[in-house]
Chains A and B, each alone.
With several copies, the nearest count.
Chain A
Amino acid sequence: MFTQADKRCSLSELVAQVKDGDVVAVGGGLSWREPMAALRELIRHGRRGLTVVGSAHGIDIDMLCGAGVVAVSGESYVGFEQDFGMAPNYRRACESGAVQVRDNCCYTLVQQLRAAISGLPFMPIRSVQGTGFEALHPEFKTMICPYTGDRLVLVPPLQPDVAVLHAHFADRHGNLHIEGPPVADILFAKASRKVIVTVEEILEHEDLAEKGVTIPYFYVTAVCEVRYGAHPTSCYPNYAYDRRHTQHYYDQARQGAEVFRENYLKPFVSQCPDHRVYLEAIGGRERLNRLTTWRESDEQWRSLYE
């Protein structure tokens, strides 16, 4: 139970909740609502040896891998879909052995989070058996169902040390409002020991309550207002996905670890003391305003992908 009256803190204090070697659940999914500002701060803090768990991810996990923050990946997907294809840093880190591959599947992850949420030592699941994941996860066990005689797979609880989320709104007490797909954020919040959250805006409780509480305050450890905190991923309705910046990211990453460090991590992370400087580095007001024009017309929205 996190019950203090005011959970606001600086981005640096927020990210200091993450320790080397922690199991970290990163919220959002693919190009939607990734807590990118918090992850960049995590890199600046020089965190190491994290185990990342989640469902379908892209630039967030790829960037952490490129920065050498990750030791184990328990994600179910890390890539750029048909947009750019495979995730270069993630691939390199896995293939070099720097990151240990412990791929998971979406529903297996859900069941493991549910076990943690309801305090059970396992959840049963019918699928997974007969696939390569049983060998990849020796911690999974099996049992014969006393009702049906069927063989079931038992998956242990997954209780991340920290969930790192980006939401639209919070109040200072830590109540959160998320618009659009929550992906696994609600499950992460309920299952994790600590929940740290960046938000586009911190509101008075009455205004937040009017929008609706997506995640109750007592799950939430700390909150920090970071506008455009999901950039370059989207945080509709506030702003769309910055495909141009992501293209630039991908082009650097594809050229190798060195190039990525020199041409991306340096200018956009390590040499940006804070988020404000980062927003200048990626093109400032002009670039950010463009990402808010998606509402103007279908053509304008389309143009963001061309």
Chain B
Amino acid sequence: MNEPVRTCTLGELMIYQIALTIEDGILAFHGFGSPLVQLALHLAKRSHAPNLVLVAGATYAVNPSPLFLTPTSNDFVMSVGAECDLNIEELFDLAASGRMGRMFLSGLQIDPWGNLNVTRLGDAGHLKLKLPGGGGGCNLSCDAGHITIWTAAHRAPPDQQGRRRFRLVDRCDFVTSVGHRSVDGRPRSELPYRGKGPDWIVTDLGIFDFDATGHARLNAVYPDTTVELVAENTGFDFPVAADLACARLPEPGIIELIRRLDPMRIHRRELSHDDRTREFEL
């Protein structure tokens, strides 16, 4: 039980880094099927953001205390101890009226402007792969105050022919949720959205913010990654922050909290097989 925590896993680092993007006193919503984000919200609520209005995806429970993390989001386990409940229309109304401070989105394709695709690979005429779809992500990418993008599949190892299928791509086949450029290339500022768009991308290789033009910029790497590694696994060129740093690792207390929140380590399902063994000395 109580042996001191000396290392943190990649998943725990990502959860911590996603949590750091969450301001106190706002309303933040995690969608469904996103254990890393669910844990990040519960971590934030229990550490630096005690006044966070935490709305759980699928159940729309407010400030619940899940007994443990389940692989399915719309489960009573996830709404145990909720302070109150919203419903689907109320949650989305809050976002549309500018009262959702932050939302978390991912995609099978992420472009330099933070546009995301979870709808399909290939074009309308020739559908290569049908993805599950974006839930309410499209609406919230416009309405939520800020967006934290995350993916645990940034790394794109080459296949036998040396080709890489990038997660961070130059262009999305379909824009499910919008970042800093519309599907037809207009800057976000020209669109009457409530929200300011994505400000962070937390991946398994590092952390991006966005420059003044709305383009992803590498902001931090991890103890076992470098700018070069990130570059060769990314389908577009990106600027690097002048003050590029190594991402801060969580304190032992934070790590213990994450482990208590996810006793079945459901969040590891988001990680690639190899990444499940990545650890960092504190």
Question: Which A residues form the contact surface with B (CB < 8 A)?
Answer: 1, 3-5, 29-32, 55-56, 75-79, 81-83, 86-87, 90-91, 94-95, 97, 101, 103, 105-108, 110, 114, 116-120, 125-136, 148, 150-152, 173, 175, 180-184, 186-187, 190, 205, 209, 213, 216-218, 234, 236-237, 240-241, 243, 294, 298, 301-302, 305-306
Instruction: Give the chain A neighbours of B257 by CB distance below 8 A.
Output: none
**CB <8 Å contact, B96 and A119:** yes
**In the assembly, what is the distance between CA of A269 and CA of B92, in Å?**
37
- Cβ of B207 within 8 Å of any chain A Cβ, yes or no, is no
**CB <8 Å contact, A77 and B51:** no
Q: Which residue of A lies closest to B115 (CB)?
A: A131
**In the assembly, what is the distance between CA of A182 and CA of B132, in Å?**
22
| B82-90, B198-206, B221-229 - the one binding chain A | B82-90
**CB <8 Å contact, B133 and A75:** yes
Instruction: Give the chain B neighbours of A209 by CB distance below 8 A.
Output: 83-84
**In the assembly, what is the distance between CA of A101 and CA of B127, in Å?**
10
Instruction: Give the chain B neighbours of A301 by CB distance below 8 A.
Output: 67-68, 77
**In the assembly, what is the distance between CA of A130 and CA of B143, in Å?**
13
**In the assembly, what is the distance between CA of A181 and CA of B90, in Å?**
13
**In the assembly, what is the distance between CA of A48 and CA of B193, in Å?**
37
Bits for B29-62, please: 1 = Cβ < 8 Å to A, else 0: 0001111000000000000000111000011111
**CB <8 Å contact, A132 and B175:** yes
Instruction: Give the chain A neighbours of B33 by CB distance below 8 A.
Output: 79, 81-82
Which of A30, A129, A131, A152 has most B Cβ within 10 Å?
A: A131
**CB <8 Å contact, B135 and A1:** no
Q: Chain B interface mostly helix, strand, loop or mixed?
A: loop
Kindly identify, within residues 243 to 272 of chain B, every residue whose CB is under 8 Å from any CB belonging to chain A. Answer: 263-264, 266, 269-270
Instruction: Give the chain B neighbours of A130 by CB distance below 8 A.
Output: 142, 175, 178, 182-184, 186, 188, 191, 193
**CB <8 Å contact, B70 and A131:** no
- Cβ of B25 within 8 Å of any chain A Cβ, yes or no, is yes
Instruction: Give the chain B neighbours of A1 by CB distance below 8 A.
Output: 25-27, 53, 99, 101
Instruction: Give the chain B neighbours of A181 by CB distance below 8 A.
Output: 58-61, 74, 79, 85, 87
| A117 in contact with B93 given A126-B142, A130-B191 (CB within 8 Å) | yes
| A106 in contact with B136 given A132-B119, A234-B75 (CB within 8 Å) | yes
**CB <8 Å contact, B263 and A302:** yes
**CB <8 Å contact, B139 and A127:** yes
Specify which of A110, A150, A175 is in contact with B88 (CB 8 Å cutoff): A110
**CB <8 Å contact, B72 and A81:** yes
| A103 in contact with B97 given A4-B51, A82-B266 (CB within 8 Å) | no
| A105 in contact with B134 given A1-B53, A213-B84 (CB within 8 Å) | yes
Specify which of A103, A114, A236, A241 is in contact with B89 (CB 8 Å cutoff): A114
**CB <8 Å contact, B58 and A127:** no
Can you pick out 26 interface pairs between chain A and chain B where the beta carbons lie within 8 Å of each other?
A: A1-B53, A1-B99, A3-B51, A76-B134, A77-B134, A95-B127, A95-B130, A101-B120, A105-B138, A107-B136, A107-B139, A114-B89, A126-B142, A130-B175, A130-B182, A132-B117, A132-B174, A132-B183, A181-B60, A187-B88, A209-B83, A213-B83, A234-B76, A302-B264, A305-B70, A305-B264
Whole-angstrom distance from the CB of A112 to the nearest CB of chain B?
12
Q: A126-B193, A181-B79 are in contact. List 18 more A-B contacts (CB 8 A).
A: A1-B26, A29-B58, A31-B75, A81-B72, A81-B73, A86-B132, A95-B129, A101-B120, A106-B139, A110-B92, A119-B96, A128-B138, A131-B138, A181-B61, A182-B87, A183-B74, A243-B71, A301-B77
